[in-house]
């Protein structure tokens, strides 16, 4: 099998796994990449429509369905376009060529004279038009292997495609008007459920009074197995009141948690596995040296919409008892495997179907709540809908790992970097179901206390988890990177948008400004002096020009501008960001200028949405968000204790896209996180003359920095 094939085609090599011709004359596109709010549905439909010569109304999408979709793993890592769209494009091009050859024979016309428009093939020499559906009557297209190359000269002469803006997001209408989310699914005789959980993922109820719980108004069923306790009833409002009373009654046993402390002393104090992961080049003589530390706290997903799932008993094709589960998981195939293990059933008795939830961009509670619903539906033999509470979301859902980064570098007399050393302290940044051994689902741990827990491990370079983007994307004579992997900490951790790239890029780009100041060189010029890639230089210069960097002035008086750059994973999209901040009682981001080079742009509006969302999320992380804990569990258990960015402080965002159709599409959904955080820090320095190195930049933390550096 050719290594040049898209990776998803290598695992799903049959055309019928990607495209189906339906009896009503339409086309069903199938994908393993699901809609998380990133607009992938529009990109997939656009690619299929343009490559197959179809109108938008001729194409529908089925994605994230374990019975029908190709298994493309997780929808994660900014691979939706880079992997999912490239695989579908390959399938559609191959399909067009197979049908074109068949049409050429049927129309007795050379391939190069054929035109394809609105799903019909025609030739200049005849008025006859043949549709895909006509041709499929004598063509077993579904059995076509996609791993067998077809030459370009085996193609139709002309495809008349519709305009880019004809293909829009198909998921938005229902989201705007009603039943667009998994929360809106209603099944006959469905029961609502709430699971009793404490202020920590490891909290367990101590000798609960089951009779009292069963007698609560609104509770029609109580399910208790092992340490798993769930209240169920037909009226969700009444059940919610019962759940609130039950939580107040229950006495919780919690794990022994370390006292809350800042991330730097915490991570250094925890047991770690240390290894040098990079040691290359030869250090040059230096005349100055700088060493600094930067940190990022644990961060919650904090989705405004709560985790939810629906499960319903069903029958398999072979007549076995089964379950259908609707979930907003980002990896339905891996989730199905883990749920089958936890439930003690065969994998093929479960059908897991993606249904949209609140965007989270990482491993939140979607997988856990799916097992909650599946187990209850299995036990009671009725449809069950489980929705988490805000406390569940902020206390037991996986968090983004905290990180500490120490950087050290030398400068020569000309202001060039002579060597670079980095050390990181962090946990795993990937604990999705199926990533490691054991079962990583919350209910499984409660149902069977001895169920194997996943081994804590991290993703190795070059992709990296905690190490993602720890290697600066600059020309460095010598580089050393040491990882201190911390297996366990005070909170449950897993994947959150950009994994370690946010903390590492924040540290690197803050440090680049500090080195520039030491060398007495403008921060933009300092980066350009060390940039090794013309595309990196281009986004930096374009952003600087848009922000009028040359006119930013000396700063001070609470108004400042900062700049930062990153290439996500050092092989995905390029992003340069400049921000203007105003610092009064708090830091307020006024303007953001951002240039992104993601290669070939497939769906412009979707790409802009992703970058804007990434900018906003990174501002919120940088200025506001941090998980806190104490002996009683997670203390940031509600919005007052875990604030996120409000609409009244949304800045003006100016985005420039570099579209190069000659380049492959690059992942761009996570490119903005690290550069935005660093740009804000650099702008604060420009505004106040003091540097915040430890996030978030809340008013009280910033005051401590001012007093410490006074």
Share of the chain residues as helix, strand and coil, in percent rounded to the nearest 5: 35, 25, 40
In percent, the amount of the chain with pLDDT more than 90 equals 81
Among the residue ranges 289-303, 447-461, 490-504, 638-652, the one predicted with the least confidence is 447-461
Instruction: Look at residue 710 in the predicted model and tell me its pLDDT.
Output: 67
SS3 track for 576-587: EEEEEEEECCCE
Q: Burial-class residue 381 by CB neighbours within 10 Å (0-12, 13-18, 19+).
A: exposed
- Domain 182-253+307-387 shares a fold with domain 270-299+399-429+464-709: yes
Mean pLDDT of 135-139: 94
Q: Which parts of 515-620 are beta strand (E)?
A: 559-567, 574-583, 587-597
Distance CA 311, CA 627 (A): 31
7-166 maps to CATH 3.30.365.10: yes
Angle between helices 604-623 and 501-519 (to 10 degrees): 70
CA dihedral 469, 470, 474, 477 (to 10 degrees): -150
Instruction: Look at residue 136 in the predicted model and tell me its pLDDT.
Output: 94
Instruction: Look at residue 3 in the predicted model and tell me its pLDDT.
Output: 46
Phi, psi of 652 (to 5 degrees): -80, 130
Q: Do you know the residue count of the chain?
A: 710
Residue 220: is its pLDDT beyond 50? yes
* Residue ranges per structural domain of the chain: 7-166, 182-253+307-387, 270-299+399-429+464-709
Instruction: Look at residue 177 in the predicted model and tell me its pLDDT.
Output: 87
Average pLDDT of every residue of the chain: 93
Cα angle at 481 between 476 and 485, to 5 degrees? 155
Residue 221 pLDDT grade (very low, low, confident, very high; cuts 50, 70, 90): very high
Instruction: Look at residue 2 in the predicted model and tell me its pLDDT.
Output: 42
Among the residue ranges 133-137, 155-159, 286-290, the one predicted with the least confidence is 155-159
Instruction: Judge contact between 475 and 256, C-beta under 8 A.
Output: no
Going by their DSSP bridges, the two strands 158-160 and 114-117 should be labelled as parallel
Mean pLDDT of 48-76: 93
- C-alpha distances out from residue 179 to 1, 173, 332, Å: 43, 9, 21
Instruction: Judge contact between 578 and 672, C-beta under 8 A.
Output: no
Render pLDDT for 403-440 as a digit per residue (tens, 0 to 9). Answer: 999 999 999 999 999 999 999 999 999 999 988 888 99
Mean pLDDT of 139-145: 93
Render pLDDT for 47-58 as a digit per residue (tens, 0 to 9). Answer: 999 999 999 999
Neighbour tally for 215: CB within 10 Å? 11
Cis before 262? omega within 30: no
Among the residue ranges 143-152, 204-213, 523-532, the one predicted with the least confidence is 143-152
Among the residue ranges 126-140, 585-599, 627-641, the one predicted with the least confidence is 126-140
Mean pLDDT of 395-404: 97
End-to-end CA distance of the chain, in Å?
A: 64
Distance CA 109, CA 124 (A): 8
pTM of the model: 0.94
Q: DSSP class of residue 649?
A: G
Render pLDDT for 310-334 as a digit per residue (tens, 0 to 9). Answer: 999 998 888 889 999 999 999 999 9
DSSP symbols for 350-406: EEEEE---S--SB--THHHHHHHHHHHHHHHSS-EEEE--HHHHHHTS-EEPPEEEE
Instruction: Look at residue 1 in the predicted model and tell me its pLDDT.
Output: 36
Distance CA 371, CA 440 (A): 11
Going by their DSSP bridges, the two strands 493-494 and 399-400 should be labelled as parallel
Q: 270-299+399-429+464-709 in CATH: which number?
A: 3.30.365.10
Residue 363: is its pLDDT beyond 60? yes
- C-alpha distances out from residue 591 to 132, 274, 559, Å: 50, 41, 12
Q: Containing H/E element for 321? A: strand 321-327
**3-state DSSP call for residue 14?**
strand
Render pLDDT for 249-278 as a digit per residue (tens, 0 to 9). Answer: 999 999 999 899 999 999 999 999 999 999
Mean pLDDT of 121-146: 90
Q: Could you tell me the fold of the domain covering 182-253+307-387?
A: Aldehyde Oxidoreductase; domain 4 (3.30.365)
Distance CA 569, CA 666 (A): 11
Going by their DSSP bridges, the two strands 350-354 and 321-327 should be labelled as parallel
Mean pLDDT of 172-201: 93
């Amino acid at each position: 099998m050719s290594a040049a094939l898209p990776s998803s085609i290598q695992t799903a090599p049959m055309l019928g796994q990607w495209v189906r011709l339906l009896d009503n004359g339409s086309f069903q596109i199938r994908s393993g990449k699901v809609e998380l709010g990133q607009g992938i549905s529009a990109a997939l439909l656009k690619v299929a429509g343009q490559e197959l010569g179809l109108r938008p109304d001729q194409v529908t999408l089925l994605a994230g369905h374990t019975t029908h979709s190709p298994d493309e793993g997780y929808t994660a890592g900014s691979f939706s376009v880079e992997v999912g769209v490239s695989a579908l494009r390959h399938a559609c091009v191959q399909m067009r060529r197979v049908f074109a050859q068949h049409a050429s024979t049927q129309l007795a016309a050379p391939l190069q004279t054929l035109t394809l428009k609105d799903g019909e093939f025609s030739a200049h020499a005849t008025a006859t038009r043949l549709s895909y559906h006509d041709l499929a009557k004598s063509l077993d297209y579904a059995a076509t292997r996609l791993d067998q190359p077809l030459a370009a000269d085996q193609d139709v002469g002309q495809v008349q495609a519709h305009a880019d803006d004809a293909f829009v997001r198909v998921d938005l209408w229902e989201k705007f008007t009603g039943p667009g989310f998994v929360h809106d699914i209603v099944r006959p005789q469905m029961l609502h459920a709430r699971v009793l959980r404490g202020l920590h993922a490891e909290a367990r109820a101590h000798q609960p009074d089951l009779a009292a719980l069963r007698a609560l108004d609104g509770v029609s069923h109580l399910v208790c197995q092992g340490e798993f306790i769930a209240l169920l009833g037909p009226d969700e409002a009444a059940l919610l009141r019962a759940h609130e009373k039950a939580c107040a009654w229950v006495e919780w046993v919690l794990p022994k948690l370390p006292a809350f402390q800042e991330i730097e002393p915490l991570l250094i104090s925890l047991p770690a596995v240390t290894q040098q992961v990079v040691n290359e080049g030869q250090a040059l003589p230096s005349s100055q040296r700088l060493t600094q530390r930067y940190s990022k706290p644990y961060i919650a997903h904090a989705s405004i919409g709560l985790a939810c799932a629906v499960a319903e008993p069903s029958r398999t094709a072979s007549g076995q008892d089964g379950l259908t589960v609707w979930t907003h998981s980002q990896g339905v195939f891996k989730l199905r495997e883990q749920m089958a293990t936890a439930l003690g059933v065969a994998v093929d008795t479960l059908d897991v179907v993606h249904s949209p939830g609140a965007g989270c961009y990482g491993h939140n509670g979607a997988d856990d709540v799916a097992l909650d619903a599946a187990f209850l539906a299995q036990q009671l033999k009725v449809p069950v809908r489980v929705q988490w509470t805000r406390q569940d979301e902020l206390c037991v859902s996986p968090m983004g790992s905290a990180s500490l980064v120490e950087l050290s570098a030398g400068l020569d007399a000309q202001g060039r970097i002579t060597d670079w050393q980095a050390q990181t302290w962090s946990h795993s940044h990937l604990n999705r179901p199926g990533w490691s051994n054991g079962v990583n689902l919350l209910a499984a741990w409660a149902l069977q206390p001895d169920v194997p827990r996943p081994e804590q491990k991290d993703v190795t370079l070059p992709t990296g988890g905690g190490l993602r983007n720890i290697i600066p994307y600059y020309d460095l004579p010598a580089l050393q990177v040491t990882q201190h992997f911390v297996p366990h900490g005070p909170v449950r951790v897993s994947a959150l948008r950009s994994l370690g790239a946010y903390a590492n890029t924040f540290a690197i780009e803050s440090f680049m400004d500090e080195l520039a100041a030491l060398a007495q060189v403008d921060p933009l010029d300092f980066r350009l002096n060390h940039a090794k890639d013309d595309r990196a230089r281009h986004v930096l210069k374009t952003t600087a020009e848009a922000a009028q960097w040359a006119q930013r002035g000396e700063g001070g008086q609470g108004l400042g501008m900062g700049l930062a750059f990153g290439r996500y994973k050092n092989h995905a999209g390029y992003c340069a960001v400049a921000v203007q901040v105003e610092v009064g009682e708090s830091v307020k981001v006024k303007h953001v200028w951002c240039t992104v080079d993601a290669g070939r742009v497939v769906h412009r509006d979707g790409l802009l949405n992703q970058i804007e969302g990434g900018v906003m999320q990174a501002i919120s992380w940088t200025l506001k968000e941090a998980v806190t804990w104490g002996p009683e569990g997670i203390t940031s258990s509600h919005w007052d204790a875990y604030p996120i960015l409000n609409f009244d402080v949304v800045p003006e965002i100016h985005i420039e896209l570099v579209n190069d159709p000659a380049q492959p599409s690059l992942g761009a959904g996570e490119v903005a996180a690290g550069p935005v955080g660093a740009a804000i820090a650099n702008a604060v320095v420009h505004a106040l003359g003091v540097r915040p190195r430890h996030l978030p930049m809340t008013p009280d933390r910033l005051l401590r920095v001012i007093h410490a550096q006074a």
